[in-house]
Amino acid sequence: MNERQAKCPFCRQFMTGWRSRYPAKACDQCDRPLFLMPSIFKRDHLAILSALDIAKVLMLPIVTGATISFGLGGLTPSEFAAVVASALLMWGLIDVWDGTAGLKTGIDRVKKQVQKGGKARKTSVAKTIFGFSSVLLGALGLLLII
Ligand SMILES: [Zn+2]
């Protein structure tokens, strides 16, 4: 990784190097969790990834896989409901984390658009509320199933 070109994948701001001996840390600017991963394309090159984005992307194949197995009869309705409820819970936690970090730093991102200041705070409030509702719904769902 070129230290001078270290850029946060979330807020797209340049960082003054990684400055941590651990492969994971929060961004100095936007406070989102980041981690280092060896690049597949370049040797001795480390890529910085946004943990929240990766977590969201990883949830998709899990939910899709569960839906397909349910459709093929591999999962019982309550097992399928448990997967959906856990996904909702996880997704909610990610949104709450994202939202509270946005409230703290005033930096937010919707899709590829980075927002700052008042607009970012409004989106962050919405994300936090939406996230909490998903967590509640997911937790409630799990309680009803188990
Ligand atoms: Zn950042």
Q: Measured in angstroms, how far is the CA atom of residue 132 from the centroid of ligand 1?
A: 23
Q: What is the pTM of this model?
A: 0.85
- Separation between Cα atoms, residue 53 and residue 7, nearest integer Å: 15
Residue 113: predicted pLDDT = 93
Q: Measured in angstroms, how far is the CA atom of residue 11 from the centroid of ligand 1?
A: 4
Residue 53 to residues 10, 44, 78: CA-CA distances in angstroms? Answer: 8, 24, 28
Burial group, residue 134, by CB count within 10 angstroms (0-12, 13-18, 19+): buried
Residue 1: predicted pLDDT = 47
pLDDT (tens place) for every residue of the chain, 146 residues total: 444 568 899 999 988 788 888 999 999 999 999 999 887 777 677 789 999 999 999 999 999 999 999 999 999 999 999 999 999 999 999 999 999 999 999 999 998 899 999 999 999 999 999 999 999 999 999 999 87
DSSP run (H or E) holding 96: helix 77-105
Residue 47: predicted pLDDT = 87
pLDDT in tens, 5-45: 688 999 999 887 888 889 999 999 999 999 998 877 776 77
Q: Measured in angstroms, how far is the CA atom of residue 95 from the centroid of ligand 1?
A: 16
User: For the stretch 68-80, what's the b/e string if a residue is b when 16 or more beta carbons lie within 10 angstroms of its beta carbon?
Assistant: eebeeeebeeeeb
Q: Measured in angstroms, how far is the CA atom of residue 137 from the centroid of ligand 1?
A: 29
Residue 116: predicted pLDDT = 95
Q: Measured in angstroms, how far is the CA atom of residue 114 from the centroid of ligand 1?
A: 10
- Separation between Cα atoms, residue 45 and residue 12, nearest integer Å: 19
- Separation between Cα atoms, residue 57 and residue 114, nearest integer Å: 19
Q: Phi and psi (nearest 5°) for 55?
A: -60, -40
Residue 18: predicted pLDDT = 85
Q: Measured in angstroms, how far is the CA atom of residue 7 from the centroid of ligand 1?
A: 8
Instruction: Return the residue matching tokens 């399928």.
Output: 80
Q: Phi and psi (nearest 5°) for 122?
A: -60, -45
Q: Measured in angstroms, how far is the CA atom of residue 136 from the centroid of ligand 1?
A: 28
Structure tokens at 123: 């989106």
